[in-house]
Amino acid sequence: MNYKIRSIRADEWAAAKELRLIALRDPVAHLAFLETYETAAARPDSFWQERAVGAAEGAGGAQQIIAEGPDGEWVGTLTVLLEEAGTTDWAGFDVEQRQGHIVAVFVQPEFRGIGLTEVLFDAGLEWAWAQDAERVRLIVHEENGRAQRFYRKAGFEPTGVIVPLPQAQGENELEFALERE
């Protein structure tokens, strides 16, 4: 595999924005992301700059990791957020232990099936464990079977936590987690 797996740099906000917008145009984006293309495209550059700074190499609260092709093109990404025990997460649930939360997983369709998602996950888990996370979790739409199969293959198991989606009445997301060994 001739791809570089690395954390983004703060000055790469425009490339991070471009890849996010590509992800939000994916046919299953409505199952994979809580944000729409229209909402993301309307955000000012300052939003993308702040987001990149907060998840760049050396940041302590989050890390955006990318798969960079031999030509420099970003073809995949995921972000790991660090959640502290005693806080409340985005869905209103209490965070009981220091944990990583994987979000924004995306590999461009023409690069799927060659192992990039696996190495992105390995890098994300490595970062979370280095931050002393006790577990790493993710939330996946109940109808996103492809993602659920991958997460199980990567060692994540359903926890039984169900997260109702307020923007989609009657739809839920499921928490999967991987405990630190």
pLDDT in tens, 80-112: 999 999 999 988 899 999 999 999 999 999 999
Q: Long-range pairs for 41-44 at CB < 8 Å and ≥24 separation?
A: none
3-state helix vs strand vs coil in the chain, percent to 5:
35, 30, 35
Residue 1: predicted pLDDT? 65
95 near 83, Cβ under 8 Å? yes
Residue 26: predicted pLDDT? 95
Going 181 to 82 to 97 to 177, the CA torsion angle's sign is negative
Q: How far apart are CA 7 and CA 55, in angstroms?
A: 8
Region 14-38: mean pLDDT is 95
Q: How far apart are CA 155 and CA 176, in angstroms?
A: 9
Asked whether residue 72 carries a pLDDT value surpassing 90, the answer given is: yes
pTM summary value: 0.95
Spell out the alpha helix ranges (H) of the chain: 13-24, 29-32, 37-41, 45-55, 116-130, 145-153
Asked whether residue 42 carries a pLDDT value surpassing 80, the answer given is: yes
Q: How far apart are CA 177 and CA 172, in angstroms?
A: 17
**Residue 12, C-beta contacts closer than 8 angstroms, at least 6 positions apart:** 52, 56
